[in-house]
Amino acid sequence: MIIKPEKTSALLLALLILTAMFSACGSADGHDAGDGASQDAAPDTTSAETEADTGDGFIHDDLGDLDFSGKTFDILYAAGFFFSPYDPESENGEVLNDAAYQRNRDVEERFGASIAYHVLEGSYTEPGEALKKSVMAGDSDYDLVIVHPFGGLTGLISGGIVGDWNALDNIDLSKPYWNASFNRNLAIGPLLPCSSSDFIYFNAGCIYFNREIQESIGLDSPYLSVRDGSWTWEKLRGAAASAYTDLNGNGSEDTDDRFGFTVVLNHRMIPNTYSCGIMSTSFSQDGSPSFENIASEKMQSVVDMFYKLLYESSGVHAFKSGEDELSIFRGGRSLLTEYVTQNIAVLRDLEFDYGMLPLPKYDEAQKNYVTLAQSNVMVYPSNAEDLSFTGAMIEALSCESYNKVMPALYETTFENKYLRDDDSYAMFNIIKSSLTYDILWNYTEGSDLCYFFNKLMEKGSADLASFYSKYGEKTQKTLTDFFEAARSAFGA
**pLDDT value for 423:** 86
Are 347 and 266 within one domain?
Answer: yes
Q: Is the pTM of this model over 0.75?
A: yes
How many structural domains are present in the chain?
Answer: 2
Residue 486 lies in a domain: yes
Say which amino acid occupies 348: R
Residue 171 lies in a domain: yes
Q: pLDDT: is 41 or 282 the higher one?
A: 282
C-alpha torsion angle, residues 52, 56, 58, 63 (rounded to 10): -70
Last residue of a domain, one of 385, 418, 451: 418
Mean pLDDT, residues 226-246 taken together: 97
**pLDDT value for 266:** 95
Tens-digit pLDDT profile for residues 395-430:
999 999 999 998 888 777 665 456 666 787 789 889
Are 166 and 277 within one domain?
Answer: no
**Least confident piece of the model among 250-259, 307-316, 442-451:** 250-259
**pLDDT value for 412:** 74
**pLDDT value for 31:** 32
Are 185 and 218 within one domain?
Answer: no
First-residue to last-residue Cα distance in the chain: 48
Please write down the HEC assignment for all residues of 73-138. EEEEEEHHHCCCCCCCCCCCCCHHHHHHHHHHHHHHHHHCCEEEEEEECCCCCHHHHHHHHHHHCC
- d(CA 242, CA 267) in angstroms, rounded, equals 27
Are 344 and 195 within one domain?
Answer: no
Are 137 and 107 within one domain?
Answer: yes
- d(CA 167, CA 383) in angstroms, rounded, equals 12
Mean pLDDT, residues 21-32 taken together: 40
Residue 58 lies in a domain: no
| Length of the chain (residues) | 492
Mean pLDDT, residues 239-264 taken together: 94
Residue 59 lies in a domain: no
Are 288 and 387 within one domain?
Answer: no
Residue 174 lies in a domain: yes
Distances (CA, A) of 239 to 22, 125, 261: 20, 41, 8
**pLDDT value for 46:** 42
Are 151 and 124 within one domain?
Answer: yes
Confidence of residue 40 (pLDDT cuts 50, 70, 90): low
Tens-digit pLDDT profile for residues 436-452:
999 999 999 999 999 99
Range of the domain at 93: 65-202+374-418
Are 360 and 414 within one domain?
Answer: no
Phi-psi region of 315 (alpha: psi -120 to 50; beta: other; left: phi over 0): left
Are 409 and 295 within one domain?
Answer: no
CB contact at 8 A, 119 and 29: no
**pLDDT value for 209:** 96
Above 70 in pLDDT, residue 55? no
**pLDDT value for 419:** 67
**pLDDT value for 81:** 62
Residues 6 or more apart whose CB falls under 8 angstroms from that of 369 comprise: 23, 25, 26, 226, 231, 275, 358, 359, 361, 430, 431, 434
Are 267 and 365 within one domain?
Answer: yes
**pLDDT value for 409:** 83
Residue 60 lies in a domain: no
Mean pLDDT, residues 75-87 taken together: 81
**CATH number of the domain to which 357 belongs:** 3.40.190.10
Mean pLDDT, residues 301-325 taken together: 97
Residue 4 lies in a domain: no
CB contact at 8 A, 114 and 71: yes
Mean pLDDT, residues 232-258 taken together: 95
**pLDDT value for 29:** 33
Mean pLDDT, residues 88-102 taken together: 93
**Least confident piece of the model among 166-175, 402-411, 418-427, 474-483:** 418-427
Above 90 in pLDDT, residue 259? yes
Residue 32 lies in a domain: no
Mean pLDDT, residues 189-203 taken together: 94
**pLDDT value for 7:** 46
Residues 6 or more apart whose CB falls under 8 angstroms from that of 383 comprise: 135, 138, 140
Confidence of residue 485 (pLDDT cuts 50, 70, 90): very high
Tens-digit pLDDT profile for residues 376-395:
999 999 999 999 999 999 99
**pLDDT value for 83:** 64
The pairing of strands 144-147 and 259-264 is unpaired
Mean pLDDT, residues 358-373 taken together: 97
Are 145 and 113 within one domain?
Answer: yes
Are 330 and 380 within one domain?
Answer: no
